[in-house]
């Protein structure tokens, strides 16, 4: 279940990619499968361990196809990498967890190579507003979401960080209903029969090409996430319309 589109990022084997706030590592695995040099970073040591074990298993299973990888714990506010280090970066569902989003975006821009590309994803303002109204726990859980973004607001912040937005997409239309049900029937009870039944149906869609295609329609009607794609101009004041790689 990928949020970022690798084709829009124009990824290539051998490129260095950072999954900043990798969580369970879904974007790491796809990047590894495509032969990239993967760096998976997360604040949670437990999540990093899970990603490490999974990538090690994937490497052992198919050494010929996968790229290189490493995992590490870290803070997206102060990234432990040199300037202009990565060809591609994915920061998926992270900025809504922090009030210092501007600092995070500047850090990501700092370590991205000139002409490199980045995908920044976050929940849509509408779905976050609905969940906030339905459940008092949604924005009060420790480590959970603490803010929501209007598209223009986040786009402007990305550009103020020194990046140029070239695309906006939406994803996970089916997931909007799932979290609505979770909020209605108790956010803390993920095994409520209604939410559990919908989650089961949601998993089945992964194996159905027809249902997968249908979700693209729901991505426009009721998307759960919005994804900004941006690139880093060469030098201060670079032409934003310059062709990028």
- Condensed to tens digits (0 to 9), the pLDDT of residues 11-47 reads 999 999 999 999 999 999 999 999 999 999 999 999 9
CB 4 within 8 A of CB 31: no
Measuring CA to CA, which residue among 143, 47, 45 is closest to residue 94? 143
Question: Which residues, given as ranges, of the chain have pLDDT below 50?
Answer: 237-245
Q: Supply the pLDDT for residue 63.
A: 63
Q: Give the separation between CA 130 and CA 211, rounded to whole angstroms.
A: 25
Q: Supply the pLDDT for residue 211.
A: 84
Q: Give the separation between CA 133 and CA 187, rounded to whole angstroms.
A: 12
CB 32 within 8 A of CB 40: no
- Condensed to tens digits (0 to 9), the pLDDT of residues 215-239 reads 888 888 999 999 999 999 987 544 4
Q: Give the separation between CA 111 and CA 124, rounded to whole angstroms.
A: 26
Buried b (16+ CB within 10 A) or exposed e, 27-63: bbbbbbebbbbbbbbbbeeebbebbbebbeebeeeee
Q: Supply the pLDDT for residue 87.
A: 98
Q: Supply the pLDDT for residue 64.
A: 56
DSSP-derived secondary structure for 181-194:
HHHHH-TT-TT-HH
Q: Supply the pLDDT for residue 49.
A: 94
Cα 177 versus chain centre, distance: 19
Half-sphere exposure of 148 (CA within 13 A, CB side): 15
Mapped onto helix, strand or coil, the DSSP state of residue 221 is: helix
Q: Supply the pLDDT for residue 59.
A: 82
Cα 14 versus chain centre, distance: 21
The partner residues of 24 in beta bridges, in order of sequence, read none
Q: pTM for the complete prediction?
A: 0.91
Q: Supply the pLDDT for residue 178.
A: 94
């Amino acid at each position: 279940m990928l949020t970022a589109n690798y084709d829009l990022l124009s990824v290539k084997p051998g490129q260095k990619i950072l999954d900043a706030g990798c969580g369970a590592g879904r974007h790491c695995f796809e990047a590894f499968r495509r032969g990239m040099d993967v760096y998976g970073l997360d604040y949670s040591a437990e999540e990093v361990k899970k990603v490490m074990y999974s990538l090690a298993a994937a490497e052992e299973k198919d050494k010929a196809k996968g790229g290189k990888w490493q995992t590490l714990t870290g803070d997206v506010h102060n990234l432990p990498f040199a300037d202009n280090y990565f060809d591609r970066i994915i920061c998926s569902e992270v900025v809504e967890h922090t009030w210092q989003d501007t600092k995070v975006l500047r850090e990501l821009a700092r370590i991205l190579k000139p002409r490199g590309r980045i995908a920044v994803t976050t929940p849509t303002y509408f779905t976050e507003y609905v969940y906030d109204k339905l459940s008092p726990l949604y924005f009060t859980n420790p480590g959970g979401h603490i803010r929501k973004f209007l598209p223009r607001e986040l786009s402007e912040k990305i550009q103020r960080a020194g990046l140029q937005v070239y695309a906006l997409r939406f994803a996970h239309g089916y997931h909007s209903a799932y979290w609505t049900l979770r909020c209605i029937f108790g956010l803390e009870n993920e095994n409520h029969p209604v939410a559990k039944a919908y989650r089961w149906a949601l998993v089945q869609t992964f194996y159905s090409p027809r249902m997968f295609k249908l979700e693209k329609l729901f991505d426009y009607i009721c998307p759960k996430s919005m994804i900004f794609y941006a690139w880093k101009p060469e030098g201060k004041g670079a032409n934003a319309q310059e062709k990028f790689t």
